Amino acid sequence: MVAKEKSRSADTRQALIEAFCDLYRENSLDKITVQAVTRKAGYNRTTFYQYFLDIDDLLRQVENSLLDYIVQKRYSVEPDEQTRYFIEDLVALYKERAIEVNALLGPHGRGHFTEMLKESLDLSFFHLDTVEDNQYQPYLIEFRLTSALNLFSLWLKRGQDLSVEELIGLVTKLYHFNPGLKELSEIHKRLLKNKKGYLK
């Protein structure tokens, strides 16, 4: 009996999440109300408040769940494998939870979710080697992470017109052809040296 009640409760919570994600994929957060979510899910407001404080809390729970999956899953692998595994994880996550992924990486959710993900990732991720006082670091973090997420979002939007292997290969090649922080640091040092020589 207890197991059935837990299963029913989980199903209710998931139905509310899916209704919210369907709305969030098409609308900005400020346009989504508790009433709209409950109406779409087929429940009343009282049921909603058994699981969530408000719409912001619902979004936060969905985001945190996906962030935990991405951040904690595979990051004991070698640096050269990070990019490939990151995209593989996104694909696996999409297969398991397409509704949430479509919402958070859709036009209304992508920016907010990307900012949260950047704050959660270790700086060694995507070859983001820690180099002291490197002014390029924030730019490289922005480029590599948002590029990967935007390419993945584009792949979803285009109806997955590439195979998973082609997508992973494309993103990995793009990353390998771009310099990391160490290379940028050396470029910066050479520029400063040339500038000082020119001023003399």
Mean pLDDT computed over 24-32:
94
* Same domain assignment for residues 171 and 81: yes
For residues 124 and 130, the answer to whether their CB atoms sit within 8 Å is: yes
Is the per-residue pLDDT at 184 higher than 70?
Answer: no
CATH number for the domain spanning 27: value is 1.10.10.60
The answer to whether 164 and 91 have CB atoms below 8 angstroms apart is yes
Q: What's residue 193's pLDDT?
A: 66
> Buried b / exposed e across 116-143, counting CB within 10 Å, b at 16+?
bbeeebeeebbbbbebeebebbeebbee
Query: Same domain, yes or no, for 3 and 85?
Result: no
What's the structural domain count of the chain? 2
Q: What is the pTM of this model?
A: 0.73
Q: What is the pLDDT of residues 101-137, one digit of tens each?
A: 989 988 898 888 888 877 776 655 555 555 555 677 7
State how far the Cα of 150 lies from the Cα of 155, in Å rounded to an integer: 8
For residue 59, give the nearest of 31, 98, 11, 17 by alpha carbon.
Answer: 17
* Contact between 72 and 117 (Cβ < 8 Å): no
- 106 SS3 class: coil
Q: Are 120 and 145 in contact (CB under 8 A)?
A: no
Reported as a single tens digit per residue, the pLDDT across 71-107 is 776 554 444 556 667 777 788 888 888 899 989 988 8
Amino acid identity of residue 184, one-letter, is L
Q: What is the mean pLDDT of the chain?
A: 79
Burial of 11 (0-12, 13-18, 19+ CB in 10 A): exposed
Range of the domain at 38: 1-52
Give tens-digit pLDDT for 37-59: 999 999 999 999 999 999 999 99
Same domain, 89 and 27: no
Same domain, 32 and 60: no
What are the distances in angstroms from CA 192 to CA 37, 137, 187? 56, 17, 9
Determine how many CB atoms are found less than 10 A away from the CB of residue 186: 12
122 vs 128: CA distance, rounded Å: 9
Check residue 177 and give its pLDDT: 65
Same domain, 101 and 160: yes
